């Protein structure tokens, strides 16, 4: 067949290669758009030597502040590691899950992104870096990479003084 119609076979091959261009050009990139899971997780980064008492105090203060936002329905958090192999959290890690009210009860013009910005302005503590993430996606990313935010830098080396520089 291909010997009888070489031009047709060649044309079909070129069309098939051209149709594969788009998927091949996206290899190595994220193909799933960011999802809005409907909830939000607050994961502040604290100092490595943060005491349990101070972490508990911070958790209580942030929960009270988060609850003041009208779109928030419930707030609950944990400090440290759960008794499960799927929780890679260090002792000082705080995870607060924020559940929202139904969207028809939100103020006009409010989006999940605007709530993140509002919460970020509301919760400002010295030495604490805020991270507002999606709960399920973050847990999966943490299990896969050990890093809790979408962008992270991991620096390793044998000499601490050289790493400080």
- What global pTM score does this model have? 0.67
Q: What does the block give as tokens for 146?
A: 């050990």
Element (H, E) at 19: helix 6-19
Helix, strand, coil content of the chain in percent (nearest 5): 40, 15, 45
Nearest to 90 by CA among 141, 44, 129: 44
In this predicted structure, the answer to whether residue 132 has a pLDDT above a threshold of 70 is: yes
Kindly give, in sequence order, each residue whose CB lies less than 8 Å from that of residue 18, ignoring residues fewer than 6 positions away: none
In this predicted structure, the answer to whether residue 152 has a pLDDT above a threshold of 70 is: no
**Per-residue pLDDT, 28:** 66
**Could you report the per-residue pLDDT of 38-67, keeping only the tens digit for each?**
899 998 888 777 788 888 899 999 999 999
Report which of residues 164 and 62 the model is more confident about: 62
Is residue 41 within 8 Å of residue 78, measured between CB atoms? no
**Could you report the per-residue pLDDT of 25-34, keeping only the tens digit for each?**
767 666 666 7
**Per-residue pLDDT, 150:** 63
- Find the length of the chain: 165
In this predicted structure, the answer to whether residue 151 has a pLDDT above a threshold of 70 is: no
CA distance 123 to 125: 7
**Per-residue pLDDT, 38:** 86
In this predicted structure, the answer to whether residue 149 has a pLDDT above a threshold of 70 is: no
How large is the average pLDDT for residues 91-105?
89
**Per-residue pLDDT, 52:** 81
């Amino acid at each position: 067949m291909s010997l009888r119609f070489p031009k047709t076979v060649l044309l079909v091959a070129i069309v098939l290669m051209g149709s594969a261009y788009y998927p091949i050009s996206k290899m190595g990139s994220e193909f799933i758009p960011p999802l809005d899971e409907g909830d939000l997780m607050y994961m502040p980064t604290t100092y490595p030597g943060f005491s349990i008492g101070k972490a508990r105090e911070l958790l209580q203060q942030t929960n009270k502040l988060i609850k003041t936002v009208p779109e928030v329905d419930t707030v609950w958090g944990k400090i440290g590691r759960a008794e499960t192999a799927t929780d890679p959290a260090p002792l000082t890690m705080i995870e607060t899950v924020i559940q929202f009210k139904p969207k028809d009860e939100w103020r006009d013009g409010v989006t999940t992104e605007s709530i993140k910005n509002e919460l970020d302005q509301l919760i400002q503590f010295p030495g604490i870096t805020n991270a507002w993430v999606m709960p399920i996606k973050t847990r999966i990313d943490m299990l896969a990479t050990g890093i809790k935010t979408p962008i992270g830098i991991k620096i390793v080396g044998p000499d601490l003084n050289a790493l400080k520089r």
